[in-house]
Amino acid sequence: MVNDQVTLDGAIAQVLDTLDGPISMQEFYQKVLEIRPSHAKNPTASIRDRMRYGWYHKIAELDSDTLIPMRCLMRGIRFAVPLSRKEVSQGLLLTYPAFELYLPREFPLSEVKLLDERGNTLPTRLKSFKETVETPLGSTEIKREGFELSTWFKQHKVKRGDYLLVTTENWERGHIRLEHEPAKARQRRQAEIAARNQEFADHVFDLLESQREEDILTGKAVPTALAQMSDPYGYPGDHWMQILAKDPRMRSDGWMIRYSDWRSPLESILLERFFEEEMVPEVEELPLSEEAQQQVYRFKAALKYHKSLWRRIEIQGGQTLVDFNHILVNAFRHDWDHMGGFWKRVRRGNTKRYRDIEMGDVDPMGGGSGADVTIASLDLTPGDTLKFVFDFGDWIEHILTLETITVPEDNVQYPRVIAQNRPRYRYCQSCKEAGRKTIATWICIECSNREGQDVLVCEDCLYKHHEDHYADEIVY
Ligand SMILES: [Zn+2]
Ligand SMILES: [Zn+2]
């Protein structure tokens, strides 16, 4: 039925109601357009955008072409909730974090219906109480809620450390089935649980890697990862929050998932203020063996936006980012009086995107967070790349590609430049007018701007004709 009055959200909701499983995105857009025709140039784009930002809590993406209504995906999903001492002694099942993301957003807890293993309704009521928690900014009182289950707990002889296996029978209506699993029974299936946890964590991490941004909403990542599991409705691994808390690759505040080396602006400010430290991820400070210190790292260093300008540089494992900065500044003839910074570039999954992990910076006096960071501690293997930025004002970016790691040669001083691009010389215009051919080593910025073309001169002519002019050295 075509209806001009219906909104885009209304049309999406109508189509969603008719679905009972996965559907291709194209088919979904088509159904929405049947209800709400559009004359836009690219009508599916606006539907897609609306769904990504306004509907992610009701629709999960199985892959880039398929979506599934959350109520279908979550029907029958199982998860495990470890019971704390407090819960067992008071006969309570705390709602947070147990049901986080396992119920529709803002679902009223008072309407949750708990069922026993046979599907009979469990008599319960919602109890709330205040709890004091410690935060970095002092202690604060928070409101907590839990389902009163003391009779059922007693019947099942529930003990601290036991688990509840939870099945979402009906996600939309908040129908949840509980089974008691004694700690010992769960212990016996540890290998199976570990495998499931790993599979889940890998799906979440792949989702994070595939994002344009370096974060993803838990509300998007967790359901999608659940849907991607080889057996989403099988024996449950641990709760998603526990799995993410233990994964060294990621961290989550419950709302967003980010790479583990990410720091919030608040964390950075607090840490810098109290510890006067820059937020650089800790590089493992293992003492380097003599061999590791001696090893020679051969890098090809190129300007990012002028790749034909490159230098091949050798530096030893025991040398630091100060040494590296120094030879790079000389090799590319940069002014010495600026900061230099190093980042490790890590490819994100199979994408063409990289993320940069700060390794440290170096000031002109040889200080800075990178002062004591050795080349060996960067943990590089051939093919890895670093980003080197010189002068945080002009932001001159270089890509440093590690080519090989070899043993040092006798009687050689490292670091050293062993090769560079074949220079394409340009010649001094003043000398040319006088009938001489001299390589230009300077560009007069002032004259170039005035004449609207590059004014290139040799050093002699620079002093003779452009003495007070602002000029830049030419690098070949
Ligand atoms: Zn000249
Ligand atoms: Zn000039």
Averaged confidence pLDDT in the chain: 91
CB atoms within 5 A of ion ligand 1 belong to 428, 430-431, 438, 458, 461
Per-residue pLDDT, 207: 94
The CATH number of domain 290-420, selected from 3.40.50.1970, 3.40.50.2300, 3.50.50.60, 3.10.290.30: 3.10.290.30
Contact indicator for 408, 415 with CB cutoff of 8 Å = no
Q: Which of 270-284, 331-345, 397-411, 454-468 has the lowest mean pLDDT?
A: 270-284
- Smallest CA-to-CA distance from 99 within 72, 120, 126 is with 126
Ligand nearest to the CA of 464: 1
304 C-alpha to ligand 2 centroid (Å):
28
Q: What percent of the chain has pLDDT over 90?
A: 77
475 C-alpha to ligand 1 centroid (Å):
17
65 C-alpha to ligand 2 centroid (Å):
60
393 or 133: which leads in pLDDT: 393
476 C-alpha to ligand 1 centroid (Å):
17
Per-residue pLDDT, 169: 95
435 C-alpha to ligand 2 centroid (Å):
20
Per-residue pLDDT, 176: 96
- Smallest CA-to-CA distance from 295 within 418, 404, 411 is with 404
462 C-alpha to ligand 2 centroid (Å):
7
In angstroms, the CA 364 to CA 417 distance is 20
In angstroms, the CA 393 to CA 374 distance is 26
CB atoms within 5 A of ion ligand 2 belong to 444, 447, 466, 469
Per-residue pLDDT, 131: 85
Residue 468: partners with Cβ closer than 8 Å, 6 or more residues away = none
What digits encode the pLDDT tens for the residues 225-280?
Answer: 998 999 989 999 999 999 999 999 999 988 999 998 887 777 666 655 555 444 44
Tokens representing 117 are 């293993």
472 C-alpha to ligand 2 centroid (Å):
11
What average pLDDT score do residues 373-398 get? Answer: 95
Ligand nearest to the CA of 465: 2
Rounded alpha-carbon distances, angstroms, from residue 335 to 33, 321, 331, 391, 444: 60, 17, 11, 9, 16
Per-residue pLDDT, 140: 87
In angstroms, the CA 209 to CA 292 distance is 32
- Smallest CA-to-CA distance from 378 within 261, 243, 286, 254 is with 286
Cis-peptide into 408, omega within 30 deg: no
What digits encode the pLDDT tens for the residues 106-129?
Answer: 899 999 999 999 999 999 999 998
Q: How confident is the model at residue 97 (pLDDT cuts 50, 70, 90)?
A: confident
368 C-alpha to ligand 2 centroid (Å):
37
Q: What percent of the chain has pLDDT over 70?
A: 95
Q: CA-CA-CA-CA torsion for 361, 362, 364, 365, nearest 10 degrees?
A: 140
454 C-alpha to ligand 1 centroid (Å):
14
286 or 263: which leads in pLDDT: 263
Residue 204 has pLDDT above 70, yes or no: yes
| C-alpha R_g of the chain | 31
In angstroms, the CA 215 to CA 219 distance is 12
Residue 37: partners with Cβ closer than 8 Å, 6 or more residues away = 2
What average pLDDT score do residues 131-135 get? Answer: 82
Second-level CATH architecture of 75-187: Beta Barrel (2.40)
